[in-house]
Amino acid sequence: MNEVMKCLLERRSCRSYLPKQVEEEALQQILLAGTYAPSGMARQPVKIVVLQDPEAINELEKMNAAIMGREDTHPFYGAPTVCVVLYDTEVYTGLEDASLVMGNMMNAAHSLGVASCWIHRAKQEFDSPEGKALLRKWGIGENYTGCGHCILGYADGPCRPAIPRKEDYIYRF
């Protein structure tokens, strides 16, 4: 099996991270992989905001937990890096393009020994007044919204193993 297939089959979501920050060289490669994700008509309607400041992460995590209705939780699981993947809502393939960015980043992270997880509720965050204020603070137009958060870090222990693939996953005719 080649290395790409090996990474695709072995990558799993991680929900427990060490406090060690992601090495800059690895982060740069992960981000580069995200920018090379396919996009409809090559429009590249995605922006990636990288948060490594604990206060900035905490602010966004509190918004995420509130949307979930569980203010006492930590939906970013202690990951030291949070990459917010946003897309231009005026581009009709924006969500799909941003989803491919998320996938590329998570697969690249695994190939480099960095754990990851896709955290939802980014759309609700960035469609809210608080989220729009963050977009303005970051210099990003209000026509952007969230696809997801790609949390990154080094796993604190093994990640869950893959569950068996369902029988009716593939249909061929």
| Rounded (5°) CA angle 91-94-95 | 145
Tens-digit pLDDT profile for residues 105-117: 999 999 999 999 9
Residue boundaries of the structural domains of the chain: 9-153
Q: Domain 9-153's class?
A: alpha beta
Q: What is the pLDDT of residue 82?
A: 98
pLDDT band at 103 (very low <50, low <70, confident <90, very high): very high
Which structure tokens are listed for 56? 């900035």
pLDDT band at 44 (very low <50, low <70, confident <90, very high): very high
Give the C-alpha separation, 82 to 98, whole Å: 15
Determine contact, residues 118/149, Cβ cutoff 8 Å.
yes
Would the pLDDT of 40 be above 90? Answer: yes
Write out the DSSP string of 62-115: HHHHHHHT-TT--TTTT-SEEEEEEEETTSTTHHHHHHHHHHHHHHHHHHTT-E
Main-chain dihedrals φ then ψ at residue 25, nearest 5 degrees: -60, -40
For the chain, give the mean pLDDT. 96
Contacts of 1 (CB under 8 A, 6+ apart): 9
Q: What is the pLDDT of residue 159?
A: 84
Would the pLDDT of 135 be above 90? Answer: yes
Stretch 125-150: mean pLDDT, rounded?
Answer: 97
Q: Closest Cα to residue 80, out of 98, 101, 55, 103? A: 55
What pTM value is reported for the model? Answer: 0.96
Q: What is the pLDDT of residue 1?
A: 87
Q: What is the pLDDT of residue 3?
A: 93
Residue 12 half-sphere exposure toward CB, CA atoms < 13 A: 12
Amino acid identity, residue 43?
R
pLDDT band at 10 (very low <50, low <70, confident <90, very high): very high
